[in-house]
Copies of this chain bind each other. A is one copy, B any other.
């Protein structure tokens, strides 16, 4: 399945505000969905200056990565910060740390975001003290304080 740069440019982007963070706003085009991919997600995203790409988070099961195409930004990876620009790569392996990006330049931060699409995942939002359980499309959000950890 072939999607030309022109066809991609003509795709309507979808603006998405993160359900946990009004400052996390991105306009995305799902190249993967448009091309029929089901098990990996491939999104071309654009983040306007001053906005975050997503709420700071870490997936416990899904691997994800970002390749910067244009613009300038700041990547927050665990406790680290990195100035990012074209050609930089940010990966989120399993057992990793929370991550997010801020478009800190004067033009939009444009990235290719790729990741697994699993039926089940657990996502932690450390700054919100919340955990999201995703199972077959059902999204369960809980306060981390409400979780009872059962010892075996």
Contact = CB atoms under 8 A, between A and B. Distances in A.
Given A87-B5, A122-B133, A93 B35 contact: yes
Interface residues of A, number: 64
Interface of A: 1-5, 8-9, 19, 31-32, 35-40, 42, 60-61, 63, 65, 67-68, 75, 77, 80, 82, 84-94, 96, 112, 114-116, 120, 122, 131-133, 135-143, 146-152
Given A2-B88, A39-B63, A139-B149, 14 more contacts: A1-B96, A2-B75, A2-B89, A5-B87, A5-B88, A32-B91, A37-B91, A38-B93, A39-B116, A40-B114, A40-B115, A138-B149, A140-B150, A146-B146
